[in-house]
Amino acid sequence: MANKTQGIGFYKVASGEAVPAGKAYLVIPADPSREFIGFGGETTGIQDVNRETIANNRYYDMQGRIVAQPQKGLYIVNGKKVLVK
């Protein structure tokens, strides 16, 4: 995967050529007509993140399990860290 003359996409690599570390690649059947596989169109992404706030006052341990009777320690309550002394 590279950003070359035709844009961001997958470019054909010569036989025996090494792909650099940290680069993505596709293994596709040999097709001499395909020199480039692009990602046409606009760049997309996440526009908004909606988070529901649920105030259930349950105590969760650090593994995400509900705790009925919290003892001394660190817990998550309503999405916040709480230290019980």
Which strands sit side by side in the sheet containing 36-38, from one edge to the other? Answer: 2-4, 7-11, 36-38
CA of residue 26 relative to chain centroid, distance = 19
Ranked by mean pLDDT, which of 8-12, 33-37, 43-47, 69-73 comes out on top?
69-73
Q: Is the pTM of this model over 0.85?
A: no
Q: What is the pLDDT of residue 52?
A: 67
Nearest to 24 by CA among 36, 10, 35: 10
Nearest to 60 by CA among 43, 73, 47, 41: 73
| pLDDT range class, residue 67, cuts 50, 70, 90 | very high
| pLDDT range class, residue 61, cuts 50, 70, 90 | very high
Whole-angstrom Cα distance, residue 35 to residue 8?
A: 13
| DSSP 8-state symbol, 2 | E
